[in-house]
Structure 1
Amino acid sequence: MPAVSRPAWLLGLLSLVGCTGGPYQGPTSDHFDGQRFSNLEPKAHKTLAAVLKWQLNRPPQAAWVEQPLPTAAQAIPQRVEGQDLRVTYINHATLLIQLQGLNILTDPLWSKRASPLSFIGPKRYHAPGLSLDQLPPIDLILVSHNHYDHLDTGSLRQLAGRFPKAQVVTGLGNGALIRQCGFADVREMDWWEALPLNKGLTLHGVPAQHWSSRTRADTNKTLWMGFVLEAPEGPLLFPGDTGLGPEFRLIHQRFGPMRFAALPIGAYAPRWFMRDNHMNPADAVQAHRQLASQSSMAIHFGTFNLSDEEQFAPVMELATALREQQVPEAEFRAPQPGEHWQVPPLQRP
């Protein structure tokens, strides 16, 4: 395959454009100094010089190729009740989670590019596993942070037109931008804050090791986070995007073993640049073990070319990491877009 490269000026251009919605203003805390947020274990933010060093020294990469969807699409139920948990992998970090009568979307992304511009920026190589027309009625949308591959205003505007009564929950400071997309019910949360959803289900904001920005000027001025859905049949974790830090052990200490966890495995190379904020497959398997997760789904791979690893490397390296860390393959799998998982209740000791 021919090699492809991405010019350094592209990242610089994208860092200067975009809509931010305004910075968060609120009281200081152990992770907010009044102007910017920080991780539990603060990491130095990558400077523009580091970005240019990465971009100018990128190795040749085999061209990514378009991936087809499965020819036979599975039917989506309107609601899932009782102890059932149904998770559909749509693409990247977009999941449809169905449990206890609620339909929940995570980091919705249907756009052709993960970019503030429609004609430039990371393009899609895999169609979404579900179209917007195939979605059941959506009750809740979780937005983990404001990066363009997680907070996509084009997709949010379309969802607001279809499901205007849906509630959106996100980190501190992201609400104004999401309201601009047409949603009226937007709730901002802090780490470790809880939001009851129904008599058996509570949503918790949890820390992740990452950062936020939509331009070079607004770095870490809004909060990034993951979410735990606490249910009698066992908790679920959606961390958005994250590096491997102390957060997974803390989440396990607070909530116990996970019934289900969605763990990112892509956008990890080169490690000197990505390590602090993106897990590679070996990191993700460690996170799976720290969470004592019964069933983990790999996310954040294969849809957009965001870093230096080859297109199919994350899935192959996940298989290697599972063998090396002696984790059964059935516990942690990489899905195809459109694949549905019926997740059993947590088997408690």
Structure 2
Amino acid sequence: MVKSTPYSLDDWGRILRALQLVDVDGKEILPKLLALYESQVLAFYDPHSHTYYSIRQLPKLPPQAAQLADPKLLQETVMVHELTHALQDQHFSLGAKEKLLMRDTDANLAYHAVLEGEALLVMVAHMLKKSSVDLDEVIHDDAMTDMIGSAAAAESMVDPSTPPYFAAMLKFPYLEGLKFVVAAYRKGGWKELDRVHANPPRTSREVLHPEEYFERTFQAETFEDAKPKGAIAAEHLGEFHWRYLVGADAATGWLNDRAIIFKDGRVQIETKWESLESATSFARAYEAFLKKRGMAATITRDGAAVRASYTAQ
């Protein structure tokens, strides 16, 4: 998460707090993230240095996870997963694409969902093969793929003290990414995933609704990342973030957004929706959310566009 943000840690903390995504103080963000990664990361591939890293000793796992984890098997599956990222970089220039998406949070999240979903599917295929089971034998079983995705993003693997937003950001690429990648594999196997890499989803909406991506019923709009004077960020939140803030129902029908966060704490939000109904539903839910958070917000709706402004404390 830290590596894929263009901000300093202090600014990133201010942005997250201004958008009401976290409550922790800026000084607490790094320790919270480090604690989360220490409990999760056994190995990782760095696409910028093209280097694979692996730790020598397993971290202490939460009790629930420790009961389920065979250390040797865990290390093997993680190695397969991370080396898949190395192959993605070799064939599809993972590091270069990450840099291009650095200032578009929603597109970055969507792309990482493809990467993690595919790596997870490769890992699953490897484990099935060890049991003499072919991936194609189980790929059409929704219950099986749901179980695999849920296991990969299990609550038991995340410390309860982790800020909920960080946990949600950690789980989304695995849980929803796997569902998206499974939809691609069902359409045309690994070749279809190669085609996805050539034209990856640009929004979390497409990951959450794979049928819209594959049937081309949703066309992602351009995000303007230019910052006005006095702003520290122009953010693109996407359906994932609005779901996190106001719930899935109120986030349905999202088309585009732009969130400007100023140095003095002012926040200006512009959103676009599919219909008057979806815009009205979002406006009501967001107004209620901000009120509950103690924000004196101004919410206006112009047709299917909703704007909000407030000053974060």
TM-score, normalization: structure 2?
0.29
Task: Compare the two structures and name the one with the higher helix fraction.
Answer: 2
Task: Compare the two structures and name the one with the higher strand fraction.
Answer: 1
TM-score, normalization: structure 1?
0.27
Structure with bigger gyration radius: 2
